Chain A
């Protein structure tokens, strides 16, 4: 794709600038989608923990009521039902995590695209890069750096979510369950600097008015 022959879809940006601007918009949209999935997942995760706690208390009351066989039969029916419900919720959470993994792979692709753009520029203009910035002030490699930083934080976050998904239904420790839930909801690896990076990216590419 040479810069002069690629007409922009919107406006008259072409080539690398077009690609970087589109990527910036994609970052914004993917992160929004991620946040929605995070909320969705948080609701499911809370349900899983509650079901787990119920199951545990049911099992405890089973022990107490060992004498009454009728009651015990009732309980095992309950238990079966709650197990099924638990499994359904886990499948839903798995689905959320899969969608997040999908988002992450799109992010990864953007990072590698932008590295490619940097390499292209190094090839065209030498090590120093182009004389004029593509947008306002950022040199081209800064886009790749920002993307890569954002990608790293989401990658770590996804790893954390995968661990939570695996462990959530199996822990009997209420405190640990709570830590899983708050780790899911508050996303400790996505910090404020990420928000700042995204906003500056949007500002630089003109998605946000200066």
Chain B
């Protein structure tokens, strides 16, 4: 009885790690695509800042009609387009996180439905090739939390960006980079390494 439950739980866990591995790749690609956009935003903010500081009337550019407004408009357009592309990438991140979240909550539901047949010994027993059920559930939960937090933090950062606050925009690339937690990423990598034999077993 218990052994069949354990084996179907193992199947669920395998599938979860499969989903985690696939969506981690999606996540990393989308995140890599964000970086140049963030640095573009930082760059444009510097340009807008410079435009704000310069009195065009006192420069050789004084004879060009509406230059300040036109340049400001073009720069704002460039910010908008970068933010638009970032929003698309955020959607990709969101989808990756959702896929991971769905799968992890499915495996937890399965576990909770079957707690009466799964005794402690079955949950904590492990072998050379197969980590214990409790460890694997923990790794999945940690990974899911990592992506959930990352998404919230990154989204919050982007939501604070407005063309009126140039300092926020200028510092955005640095703040974006500082959200990267190698500890969180490593935990996911470690988890995937630790289940690599388990994934290959039938």
Residues of A within 8 A of B (CB): 156, 159-160, 163, 166-167, 173-176, 178-179, 181-183, 186-189, 191
Contacts and interface: CB of A to CB of B under 8 A. Distances in A.
A178 B50 contact: yes
Interface residues of B, number: 19
A186 B50 contact: no
Contact of A156 (B59, B64, B73, B78): B64
Contact of B74 (A156, A178, A179, A186): A186
Contact of A173 (B46, B54, B70, B74): B54
Given A160-B64, A167-B60, A183-B61, A175 B54 contact: yes
B78 A178 contact: no
20 contacts: A156-B64, A159-B64, A160-B61, A167-B59, A174-B50, A175-B50, A175-B51, A175-B53, A175-B54, A176-B59, A178-B47, A178-B51, A179-B50, A179-B51, A179-B71, A182-B71, A182-B74, A186-B71, A186-B74, A186-B78
A55 B140 CA distance: 56
Contacts of A187: 74
B75 interface: yes
Contacts of B53: 175
A184 to B, nearest CB: 10
A175 to B, nearest CB: 4
Interface of B: 46-47, 49-51, 53-54, 56, 59-61, 64, 67, 70-71, 73-75, 78
Nearest to B61: A163
B60 A179 contact: no
B70 A188 contact: yes
A182 B75 contact: yes
A163 B60 contact: yes
Contacts of A173: 54
Contacts of A160: 61, 64, 67
A11 B104 CA distance: 63
**Top 8 A-B pairs, shortest CB-CB distance:** A188-B70, A178-B50, A186-B74, A175-B50, A182-B47, A175-B53, A188-B71, A167-B60
Interface centre among B46, B50, B56, B73 (most CB of A within 10 A): B50
B59 A186 contact: no
A178 B74 CA distance: 15
B99 to A, nearest CB: 38
A3 B59 CA distance: 52
Contacts of A186: 71, 74-75, 78
A186 B68 CA distance: 12
Given A174-B50, A178-B50, A182-B47, A166 B60 contact: yes
B67 A188 contact: yes
Given A167-B60, A183-B71, 4 more contacts: A163-B60, A175-B49, A178-B47, A178-B50
A159 B67 CA distance: 12
A55 to B, nearest CB: 19
A178 B49 CA distance: 9
A188 B61 CA distance: 13
A163 B67 CA distance: 13
A178 B46 contact: yes
A179 B75 contact: no
Contacts of A167: 59-60
Contacts of B67: 160, 183, 188
A178 B67 CA distance: 14
Contacts of A182: 47, 50-51, 71, 74-75
B52 to A, nearest CB: 9
A53 to B, nearest CB: 13
Contacts of A183: 61, 67, 71
Residue among A160, A173, A179, A187 facing the most chain B CB atoms (10 A cut-off) = A179
A22 B78 CA distance: 33
